[in-house]
Amino acid sequence: MTWGPLLLLLGGLCLQQARAGSHSLRYFYSSLSGPLPGVPQFSSVGYVDDIPISGYTSESHRVEPLAPWMERISAEDAHYWEDSTEISRGAEQVYKVNVRIAMERLNQTEGLHMFQRMYGCELRDDGSIGGFDQFAFDGHDFLSFDKDRLTFTAAMDAARITQDRWDSEMIIAQRDKEYLEGECIEYLKKYLKLGEERLRRVAPQAAVTRRKTSDHTFLTGYAYGFYPRDIEVKWVRNGVEIPWESRDILPNPDGTYQVRTTVEVQEGDDEKTYRYEVYHSSLPDTVTVMYEEKSPPMGVIIGGVIGALVGVGMLAAVIWVVYSKKKKSGKSAYTAANRDPRPGVGGSHQHLLKGKNIL
């Protein structure tokens, strides 16, 4: 099984980012209504921050470690992979049903469609925690869970049936909250410890370059080589923040990230009055950079090209899966209604959320 196209597909539909300076554990489910060459009909992938750590597909029929350091978890929990596999097989059947239910509610009888779920938790620098559980259909928000209010919110009319039913059974929301604030955080801490070498924070380097045209001057600020992904950058002129051209945060080949932002220098302004400010969780304070007449490091240029290609590939994968139209043959059956299909939730940790998984 080649995981590259699948990770691009799942990564392209992230519904929520962790806050700057925090760590997150997220799981993504994707279920297609029919076959698509090269893409499993059902898949689940677990992430710590933005690093894939485990995955299951309808082709492999087992949960596999995707990060080398995850292989060490067997030493602490001998049944971890077996339990996770059993639960994911149940989830596969559940989400085959869910995608069909969503299609019926939306009167979508033909074509290829996709139902997704993303849930997880985050641990912030100040020790506070967060949790989320969200569902999507064909790339659009479908339903979300508010763990503080213990309520579900439908994002479209087709989800109101599910919202009403799940809200009427308070035990569903309570157990979801217990998992997000308890077991999910415990596993996140365990994974962070196992992968602490790979997940360590790396401070960004920063530089500013200049580009002149016949009648305009532009300054571009770079922040590069940082990890984790979340970062804050801004342009300031004479102490006042100014608008700038936004660019996506792109991956580098070594697992770090980079971002660049551009502003136009106003006529008559001294370029030295423009300051590029960078803040990252690895830094004790904000880093400020001004333009200097020197070329940016080659790593910025090479990393930008590769990162842009990855970003284009991610977008293409999502568009292809969401909007490609194919006829589905065969029917799926639900066989595990009372099993909580969360990778890493097995054995004594397993929640029995009665009816929770079926829409």
Give mean pLDDT in consecutive 10-residue pieces for the chain, a chain of 359 residues. Answer: 46 45 88 91 92 93 93 84 93 93 93 94 90 94 95 96 93 93 95 88 91 89 89 91 80 85 88 92 90 60 42 35 33 34 36 51
For 330-357, the pLDDT digits (tens) are 333 323 333 344 433 333 333 333 334 7
Report angle CA 332, 338, 342 to the nearest 5 degrees: 85
Please state, in angstroms and rounded to a whole number, the distance separating the CA atoms of residues 222 and 248.
12
Using the structure block, give the residue that is written with the tokens 């076959």.
35
Tokens at 186, concatenated: 């415990």
For 261-292, the pLDDT digits (tens) are 999 998 888 888 999 999 998 898 999 999 87
**Which helix (H) or strand (E) element contains residue 165?**
helix 160-168
Please state, in angstroms and rounded to a whole number, the distance separating the CA atoms of residues 354 and 171.
9
Tokens at 290, concatenated: 């001004």
Q: Nearest Cα to 100, choosing from 57, 42, 54?
A: 42
